[in-house]
């Protein structure tokens, strides 16, 4: 059975908690030929402040793909700092492309948040090194 990465935040939104900590490992789906062989490590702090869900923390993983110059396989670390403020009343159902699209009812989809953050930190192309000579004939 697959593990769910949706975290119930209704207690936080109701004022029952001051702070919610999330430490999780979530899979990142392959994207345009770039694989993520191990799960992303996610560390988040959630607070409900001024009617907004404030999420801070980090997401770290490894990306694997072909170097755009020499086509050799390359692994690069990917790090994303998280500092998001989301209106909990505007979720995925209201605007699937909006900033609150990681909210599903009273839950935060941690895997979806991590996926979006990792992809936003990816370089335009993978390089094995700055000095890569490219394909040699």
pLDDT of 64-109, one tens digit each?
Answer: 999 988 889 999 999 999 999 888 876 555 554 555 578 877 888 9
* CA distances for 122 relative to 55, 73, 118, angstroms: 21, 16, 6
Q: Is the pLDDT of residue 2 over 70?
A: no
135 lies in a domain? no
pTM: 0.82
Within a 13 Å sphere around the CA of 30, how many CA atoms are in the beta-carbon half? 7
**CA 83 – CA 45 distance, rounded (Å):** 10
Q: How many domains does the chain have?
A: 1
132 lies in a domain? no
Residue 1's pLDDT is: 33
130 lies in a domain? no
Q: Percentage of the chain surpassing pLDDT 90?
A: 44
89 lies in a domain? yes
137 lies in a domain? no
Strands annotated E in 50-128: 52-66, 73-86, 103-104, 107-109
131 lies in a domain? no
Q: Domain limits at 25?
A: 6-121
């Amino acid at each position: 059975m697959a593990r769910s990465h949706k975290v119930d935040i209704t207690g936080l939104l109701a004022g029952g908690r001051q702070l919610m900590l999330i430490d999780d490992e979530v899979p990142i789906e392959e994207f345009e030929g770039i694989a993520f062989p191990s799960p992303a490590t996610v560390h988040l702090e959630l607070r409900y402040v001024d009617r907004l869900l404030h999420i801070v923390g980090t997401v770290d993983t490894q990306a694997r793909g072909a170097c755009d110059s020499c086509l050799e396989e390359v692994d690069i670390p990917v790090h994303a700092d998280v500092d998001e403020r989301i209106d909990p009343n505007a979720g995925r159902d209201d605007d699937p492309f909006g900033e609150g699209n990681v909210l599903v009812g009273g839950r935060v989809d941690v895997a979806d948040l991590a996926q979006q953050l990792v992809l936003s930190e990816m370089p335009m192309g993978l390089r094995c090194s700055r000095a890569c000579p490219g394909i040699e004939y």
